[in-house]
Chain A
Amino acid sequence: MAARTKAQAAMEFMVTYGWVFIAGLVIVASLNYFGIMRIDRMLPDSCFLSNDLRCDAFNAKADGITFYIVNNLGFGIKVEDAYIESVEGTNYDCRSAFATEGFPDGLINNNQGFTLSLPADPLLCNLESGRIVKGDLVITYHIDNTGMEGPSGYQGTTPHTVRGPLKVGVA
């Protein structure tokens, strides 16, 4: 009889609090699913292109996303295009007029860092505060080694694409 009472007490405890716990988890999962609360916010912000074209710093504000990228490819490059592709939760790419600040012609020498800015676009690249931008940072360039060491004066004609995962929260 004593064992039965004990079992009943344990069962009642489990049913009462177990379901509360499960309900809590279901609520958290639903909030995450509907985008009200994002669990992936817990993961740190990240930006990776390659070891040679390093994304050293980045931040996102309502007016745009800025990256500090260092060219350690071993040759000069001319940036032709830059955008964020396959932005999660949207059907479009975050593509706006990019700018290489300080290098208006997009020519970046070897071992040189540059600031790449992607201004917000209300239609394609909505950067409301608190939003997480998750997708691929894509940069297209061609080799331009004018006046550089190595194959000096070499100017490539083939465009190359470098791409890496990006996750950044808009401040």
Chain B
Amino acid sequence: MKGQASMDFLMVMSLLFIILVPTVSLFYNYTRSTREQAAITQSGTLAKQIISNAEKVYYFGFGSRLTLELTMPEGVNSIKVAPHGILEGQKELVINVTTGDGYAEIVSLSKVPLETADFTGALQDEKVTSGYKRIQVEAKKDPAGLLYVEIRVMQ
């Protein structure tokens, strides 16, 4: 009887193992792809919210400021403004998201010039992590007196 019980156990376990391994692998790949799609979609929404509010503060005028409370999705590597170097030309907000085999860029076009707080064109990497974030957009003037919108991650 004891022998049969062990044999039954072994067989059930092997069966489970044989069924589970390919199934887990199949579903792992499937959910990974779904997770990436969700991150890309969320990043697109995030970029549009930042741009929309940046345009608002720009047209409200110098000194206007808005603080956005947003959730940064998983997989976001960096947030940059491009092309960087000439303030008036900086109208692209680029969110770089990691995908399975590389990265994808989510791009939003702004009607107004954008800049980061440290003038490097990139938001501080250590603050660009997943989860709740407060992002501040503020209308400022450069030394030449031209209006631009500064984007800053508060936390």
Contacts and interface: CB of A to CB of B under 8 A. Distances in A.
Chains A and B belong together in one complex? yes
Given A136-B101, A161-B105, A163-B102, A14 B7 contact: yes
Interface string B121-135: 000000000000000
Contact of B104 (A14, A26, A46, A164): A164
Contacts of B14: 22
Interface residues of B, number: 37
Interface stretch (A57-65, A116-124, A125-133, A148-156): A148-156
Contacts of A43: 26, 30
Given A39-B22, A39-B26, A158-B82, A74 B102 contact: no
Contacts of B100: 136, 165
A50 B106 contact: yes
B136 interface: no
A26 B46 CA distance: 47
B15 A18 contact: yes
A160 B44 CA distance: 14
How many A residues touch the partner, as a band?
35 or more
A150 B112 CA distance: 10
Contacts of B22: 29, 32, 39
B109 A75 contact: yes
Contacts of A85: 101-102
B19 A25 contact: yes
B94 A154 contact: no
B36 interface: yes
B37 interface: yes
Interface in B106-155: 106-111
Given A22-B15, A39-B26, A165-B100, A73 B91 contact: no
Given A14-B7, A18-B15, A157 B94 contact: no
Interface in B42-74: 44
Interface of B: 1, 4, 7-8, 11, 14-15, 18-19, 22, 26, 29-30, 33, 36-37, 40-41, 44, 82-83, 91-92, 94, 99-111
Interface of A: 7, 10-11, 14-15, 18, 21-22, 25-26, 29, 32, 39-40, 43, 46, 48, 50-52, 73-75, 85-86, 135-136, 138, 143, 145, 150-151, 154, 156-158, 160-165
